[in-house]
Amino acid sequence: MTPMSTTGLVVVVLAATVALLAPPSMASVTTLWPQPQNVRSGTDSGVTLAKESFKMVAAPGCVSSALLSGAMERYMDIVFDFGAGGAAAVGAEAPGSDFSTLSVLEVCVASSDESLGLETDETYKLEIDGSATASLQAESVYGAMRGLETFAQLVEYGYTNDSYAIAATPITIGDSPAYPWRGLLVDTARHYMPADFLLHVLDAMAANKLNVLHWHIVDAQSFGFVVAEYPELSKYGAWHPTAIFTQAEIAAVVAHGKSLGIRVVPEFDGPGHAAAWGAAPDLFDVVAHCPAYEHNINNIPLNPASNVTFDVLAAVYQAAAKVFTDDFLHIGGDEVVQGCWTDDPTIAAWMREHNLNTIQVYQLFENAMHAIARTPAVNKSVVVWEEVFDNALHIPMNTIVEVWKSASVLKDVLGAGYRGLLAAPFYLDKQIPGLGQGENVPTTSYEWVDTWKSFYGVDMTANLTSAEAKLLLGGEGAMWAEQVMDTNFDSRVWPRNSAVAERLWSSPLVNDPVAATPRLNAQSCRMQRRGIMCGPVAPSFCLLPSDVNRHPLSA
């Protein structure tokens, strides 16, 4: 992406008056996460702000919208996370400081286009001049959201004088993401996590400038997606009658994602990992039945010999299209145990009748799933796992291939002309996530949280030509949920996935884990202040609002 101009973009003006207030204890411009592409800052001066005298408003003559208003309201709460601040600090001694007071944040959005997709412009430019004014510029409301996140991270609370300040002005930040697809895979099939918890996950993602929630909503173990045409899918396939996702709940997740500039891409894995699709008595024949393989529930694929199978697939995709508004649908394609088809007598007879081998059956499913996705009632572009490519199946060239088994496959995918996503080195469930990913990436860690260094050390474009690199859309951290649910999700994902977020946003030259450690600790603290139960990566102290309430500053 190219640096944006300052013409016709989001403008933020912060008026200032002089007050003598101490700067925060943390030089916040050095702790931004993910690290912006370009940062310039000063030294001794700064600005202060207090909730009672500071406001964010849409600038006259610019685009105003509910999305922008909601973002400003949200960031007002984030900025002033310790309360109003300011009043107790007026007149406080601050020898040698030269701080002025911000009173207004004017936001001007240039474009009224609020569509959210792969081409969304998230660039922004933030300028804070401590002596007078500041500006935040972005073409889209989503770029404004990324700039507001950076602005919020710059604001630090001072406990000793109950004040908020931005130090080290003047500050100029020019920023844009390295990749347009920066995702987190959340698996609600292995363990159910309710929709309201997914709203919390989205909030955490926004704090790290991630922009795609890859929702792995069904798998062999459970089918919690409610389909009106086939209610028995979730009635019998879900873990429990309460462990489901209604259309209204999904719509709320999608809407919250859009309010944060985060796309929600669902995955309905097929033809493998399909046992839960056939849990209902009248859908028994939708899946294969293979005694030699049924010891592992993950081995059961869909049944190609039944027309009902494809009717159900169409109904599921159509139901998904009504509530998931993103352009993309992930249709899986991984770990298809082809031997299960030949071990099922009915399917084996059907294959002989039609002179088909297992790869041809695999191809038949890919053809059908892609065709259904292209129908007017669905109208989605498709993402698949790498096995579809590994098995040399024929798929449309506009398919996105997600590489999860080995990063070395990525070059082959991109070299063949497909767009690609990289998940292989970003598996959050693995004890040795960097294994095989390169000599500069640690393969194991004494303390498991230090696996973030494996994610951080990934070279996204290793061994790629410039033409291949242009087809790499980004990647995803993947939190498979065999041992994860909402009660331990935060501590398993964060702040380790923050390392993935920076790898997908920042310059590839920002790759030193030693230099990143204090910034990541600061980011972890910010997330804790927002109610995200993540932990530190090194010894430190994180001041929380509860600490101040427990030990208020003496008068």
Residue 152 lies in a domain: yes
- Tell me, yes or no, whether 291 and 327 share the same domain: yes
Give percent of the chain above pLDDT 90. 76
The single residue of 232, 249, 294, 335 carrying the catalytic annotation is 335
- Tell me, yes or no, whether 169 and 189 share the same domain: no
- Tell me, yes or no, whether 257 and 294 share the same domain: yes
What tokens appear for 468 in the block?
């291949």
At residue 2, does pLDDT exceed 70?
no
DSSP symbols for 21-84: -PPPSS-GGGS-SSPPSEEE--SSEEEEE-TTT-EEEEPTTSB--HHHHHHHHHHHHHHTTT-S
Give percent of the chain above pLDDT 70. 90
pLDDT at 18: 26
Residue 4 lies in a domain: no
- Tell me, yes or no, whether 151 and 215 share the same domain: no
Domain tally, the chain: 2
Q: Which among 175, 205, 239 is the end of a domain?
A: 175
pLDDT at 495: 97
Q: Which among 175, 202, 217 is the end of a domain?
A: 175
pLDDT at 270: 97
pLDDT at 136: 86
- Tell me, yes or no, whether 135 and 203 share the same domain: no
- Tell me, yes or no, whether 201 and 258 share the same domain: yes
At residue 131, does pLDDT exceed 60?
no
Host H or E run for residue 419: strand 419-422
- Tell me, yes or no, whether 190 and 323 share the same domain: yes
- Burial (0-12, 13-18, 19+ Cβ within 10 Å), 42: middle
Low-confidence winner among 158-167, 175-184, 212-221, 441-450 (lowest mean pLDDT): 441-450
**pLDDT tens profile 43-82:** 878 888 989 988 888 888 889 899 999 999 999 999 999 9
Q: In this predicted model, which residue has the larger pLDDT, 3 or 61?
A: 61
At residue 341, does pLDDT exceed 50?
yes
Distance (Å, rounded) from C-alpha 331 to C-alpha 308? 18
Where residue 133 falls among pLDDT bands split at 50, 70, 90?
A: low
**pLDDT tens profile 73-83:** 999 999 999 98
pLDDT at 28: 78
Q: What is the CATH number of the domain that holds 277?
A: 3.20.20.80
pLDDT at 271: 98
In this prediction, residues 139-162 reach a mean pLDDT of 94
Low-confidence winner among 145-154, 278-287, 515-524, 542-551 (lowest mean pLDDT): 542-551
Residue 254 lies in a domain: yes
Where residue 289 falls among pLDDT bands split at 50, 70, 90?
A: very high
At residue 280, does pLDDT exceed 90?
yes
58 in Cβ contact with 69 (< 8 Å):
yes
Residue 5 lies in a domain: no
In this prediction, residues 476-481 reach a mean pLDDT of 98
- Tell me, yes or no, whether 406 and 314 share the same domain: yes
Show contacts of 83-86: CB within 8 Å, 24+ apart.
Answer: 83/51, 83/162, 83/545, 84/50, 84/51, 84/52, 85/49, 85/50, 85/51, 85/157, 85/162, 85/163, 85/164, 86/48, 86/49, 86/50, 86/51, 86/52, 86/53, 86/162, 86/163, 86/164
Residue 12 lies in a domain: no
pLDDT at 57: 85
- Tell me, yes or no, whether 149 and 255 share the same domain: no
Where residue 407 falls among pLDDT bands split at 50, 70, 90?
A: confident
In this prediction, residues 409-424 reach a mean pLDDT of 97
160 in Cβ contact with 94 (< 8 Å):
no
In this prediction, residues 461-480 reach a mean pLDDT of 97
Q: In this predicted model, which residue has the larger pLDDT, 343 or 105?
A: 343
Distance (Å, rounded) from C-alpha 230 to C-alpha 198? 25
- Tell me, yes or no, whether 112 and 226 share the same domain: no
Residue 192 lies in a domain: yes
**pLDDT tens profile 382-400:** 999 999 999 999 999 999 9
Domain assignment of residue 140, given as a range:
38-83+95-175
Residue 25 lies in a domain: no
- Tell me, yes or no, whether 198 and 246 share the same domain: yes
At residue 92, does pLDDT exceed 70?
no
**pLDDT tens profile 328-338:** 999 999 999 99
Q: What is the CATH number of the domain that holds 119?
A: 3.30.379.10
**pLDDT tens profile 96-116:** 357 888 888 888 889 999 999
Q: Which among 175, 209, 242 is the end of a domain?
A: 175
Low-confidence winner among 176-190, 346-360, 432-446, 482-496 (lowest mean pLDDT): 432-446
- Tell me, yes or no, whether 142 and 204 share the same domain: no
pLDDT at 100: 87
pLDDT at 553: 67
* Active site annotation includes 402: no
Residue 442 lies in a domain: no
Where residue 525 falls among pLDDT bands split at 50, 70, 90?
A: very high
Where residue 366 falls among pLDDT bands split at 50, 70, 90?
A: very high
Where residue 431 falls among pLDDT bands split at 50, 70, 90?
A: confident
pTM over 0.85: yes
**pLDDT tens profile 9-53:** 333 333 332 222 333 344 478 999 999 999 999 887 888 898 998
52 in Cβ contact with 163 (< 8 Å):
no
